[in-house]
Amino acid sequence: MGVYHHGERTVQQRAGLIDHAGFSAAAIRNEIPDVAVEFLSRQPMLVVGAADTDGAVWASLLTGAPGFVTATGPASLTIEAVPPDGDPLHDVLARPAHVGMITVEPATRRRMRMNGRSRPADGGLHVDLDQVFSNCPKYIQQRRPTPAPAALGPTAAPWHGTELTPRQLALVQAADTFFIATADRVGNTDASHRGGSPGFLQAVTPTRLRWPDYSGNAMFATLGNIEVDPRAGLLLPDWDTGTVLQLTGTAAVDWDPGRAAAVPGAQRIVEFTVDHIVQIDRASPLRWTAPTYSRFNPPAPRPLGREEGP
């Protein structure tokens, strides 16, 4: 249990899962298991989370040919990629930073999370790891990468805003996957995956999102960080076009059991208030097949009505 900080322990106790969390703690290591070395070498994408100089937390997508992420030691990685110009973490990762990372292999529904400290190295990153752990395959939609279009065109200039546009709202409502980055009081960062049936992520308004928190591994790394620092960053990939939508803002957990009971599968409800939005078209060269949805996905909540806004 010593691997958990105050916020994580507080959430575990409130959820009544402190015993399960103690069991899950054994899965958190400070070294890369041998079986994970080969897993990392196969991956074409990695999500990285970090805080900018103002303390806003962002999540960014890094991509490369398999092998661009390499275990260089029992507790270290090299990543042969950096966020593109205009990405909120481009300048952040040009200097030492606390980072949280997750790589998901949709085809096999496997994922691996790694947290540590990065520094720039030869056009990429070197990361010294503090935490390494895998999670169960729940809520991961099965997809396979497909060959990129012959003429992708250059990555588009970033679009900035403070409210979701109609196009972005449609992406949110259709999403079956997103990634969330959070940090604890001293800046240690984590990146995690959220998945569900399309519609599980809801736009209450153009500046407020909501999603159900489903049963998971009882670690509560994300909710534990939110308990001590509400700042968070979301990354929504468009699997068909390579567009990425990055949001930074603040998150809050609604512990009202009555509200959770109204949403299929929800243990709690998380609400996210948007402060800033960055959209980068063609940010990723990867394209993916249509999903096979996880059998663990609960039905999506009913669509929000106008009366459910602020």
Alpha-carbon dihedral sign for residues 240, 140, 84, 229: positive
**309 in any annotated domain:** no
Q: Are 181 and 232 in contact (CB under 8 A)?
A: yes
pLDDT digits (tens, 9 = 90+) for 156-186: 799 999 999 999 999 999 999 999 999 999 9
Q: How confident is the model at residue 28 (pLDDT cuts 50, 70, 90)?
A: confident
**302 in any annotated domain:** no
Range of the domain at 212: 6-143+153-293
- Short-list 158, 113, 100, 146, CA closest to 239: 146
**170 in any annotated domain:** yes
**308 in any annotated domain:** no
**70 in any annotated domain:** yes
**62 in any annotated domain:** yes
- How many folded domains does the chain comprise? 1
Q: What is the DSSP string of 230-264?
A: -EEEEEEE-TTT--EEEEEEEEEEE--HHHHHTST
**299 in any annotated domain:** no
What's the mean per-residue pLDDT of the chain?
93
pLDDT digits (tens, 9 = 90+) for 56-86: 999 999 999 999 999 999 999 999 999 999 9
**148 in any annotated domain:** no
What's 205's domain CATH number? 2.30.110.10
Q: Is the pLDDT reported for residue 24 higher than 90?
A: no
The CA–CA distances, whole Å, from 200 to 111, 139, 203, 240, 241 equal: 20, 11, 10, 19, 21
What per-residue confidence (pLDDT) applies to 2?
Answer: 64
